[in-house]
Chains A and B, each alone.
Chain A
Amino acid sequence: GENVEQHPSTLSVQEGDSAVIKCTYSDSASNYFPWYKQELGKRPQLIIDIRSNVGEKKDQRIAVTLNKTAKHFSLHITETQPEDSAVYFCAAWSGNQFYFGTGTSLTVIP
Chain B
Amino acid sequence: ETGVTQTPRHLVMGMTNKKSLKCEQHLGHNAMYWYKQSAKKPLELMFVYSLEERVENNSVPSRFSPECPNSSHLFLHLHTLQPEDSALYLCASSQDHLFGAGNTIYFGEGSWLTVV
Contacts and interface: CB of A to CB of B under 8 A. Distances in A.
Interface of A: 4, 9, 31-32, 34, 36, 42-46, 49, 51-52, 89, 91, 93, 96-103
Interface residues of B, number: 23
Contact of A32 (B4, B40, B102): B102
> A-B pairs with the 6 shortest C-beta distances?
A100-B43, A100-B42, A32-B101, A43-B107, A93-B100, A43-B109
Contacts of A52: 101
A45 B45 contact: no
A102 B43 CA distance: 7
Contacts of B97: 96
A40 to B, nearest CB: 12
B103 interface: yes
B105 A98 contact: yes
B32 interface: no
Nearest to B112: A41
20 contacts: A4-B42, A31-B101, A34-B104, A36-B107, A43-B108, A43-B109, A44-B43, A44-B107, A46-B104, A46-B106, A52-B101, A89-B43, A93-B101, A93-B103, A96-B56, A97-B48, A97-B100, A98-B100, A100-B42, A101-B42
